Amino acid sequence: MQAQSKTRSLTGCYITIPTMFQDPSLDLDCAAIAHHVKFLLDNGVKAGNGVLLAGGAAGDFSTMTFDERIRVAETVKEAAGGAIPLAMGAQTTSTRELVALAKQAERLGFDFIQVSPPFYFNHTEGDFLDHVKAAADAADVGIIVYNTFWTSAAVSFKTVEQLVRIPNVAALKWATPRTDAMEFEDVVSTFSSTLSIIDNHLMFPLSHALGARAFEVHLSNYWPQWGIRLVEDLDAGHYAKVQRSLISDAMPFYKLWMEIEASYTSGDGYLDKLCMELIGLPSSRCRPPTRDVREGYREKCRAMMIACGVPGVLPAAA
């Protein structure tokens, strides 16, 4: 498979499907996961304006067994019904497990797997390149390389130059630490003609102007219309409008997330799921060690959503 045949389909909002769990056992709640996929599709998310990721960081991959990760992927695949491109989270510290995940993604008919540098040890560039090559050799599936510089060795410009030579590498989910060297802009402007760039940095007007065509959007999980409008406005070149919308609608979500990270717990997806609960969707807590945020932050989250104009926010219980 040549990556270019997959790259063109990776456009729009890149939406991580939260993994829902049953209370109080915290076993998988596959019915709730499927319900959420259908909610997104019913509200206009489709090929061209969206891509769904099963079992990413906001999907609790780090707390799931291998078999659970596959069950989540199967659930998302079945619920999506071929209506939208799909990626499967394949982040792992083990190259052997990555190969197994890649083979399962191919078996299930996923378009992409998401791969990041192995965490815990500070692996070298050569280690990571071999890690990605092993996945590319094992399965006919597109590879999204995710620069998780906050948990592992960073992906450098030099590394990207090597990655684009691996045939299955189709996309780069990209964020960098901010410095005057403008590494974010350098990579986006240089490689956007070869790879699909997924902006994971909330610099959407800038990255779109430089060639990025996909955007990590947590808000889509509870406000899919916002994400669809974002993509339409970016494609129309309405960059000032998009920036104002990021400030008014996205920034409050991220500020609340950072508040929770600083004072209570750490993880990903828990705020997405709380927002989903507050518009009446099936939801849950995340698995430990991330603590349950629902009781402590429900009303602050509700107030944030109402202030931002999120439709369908449920009133507080009397």
Neighbours of 260 (CB within 10 A): 22
Tokens of 123: 């692996």
Tell me phi and psi for residue 169, to 5 degrees: -70, 115
Peptide bond into 167 cis (omega under 30): no
Q: 89 CB contacts (<8 Å, ≥6 apart)?
A: 53, 54, 55, 56, 57, 59, 61, 69, 113, 114
DSSP at 86: E
String of DSSP letters for 263-308: HT---SSHHHHHHHHTTT----PPPTTSPP-HHHHHHHHHHHHHHH
Is 146 assigned a catalytic role? yes
Residue type, 308: C
Is 297 assigned a catalytic role? no
Pick the catalytic residue from 14, 146, 222, 270: 146
Pick the catalytic residue from 6, 77, 173, 273: 173
Distance CA 72, CA 19 (A): 7
C-beta of residue 260 within 8 angstroms of C-beta of residue 297: yes
Catalytic residues: 146, 173
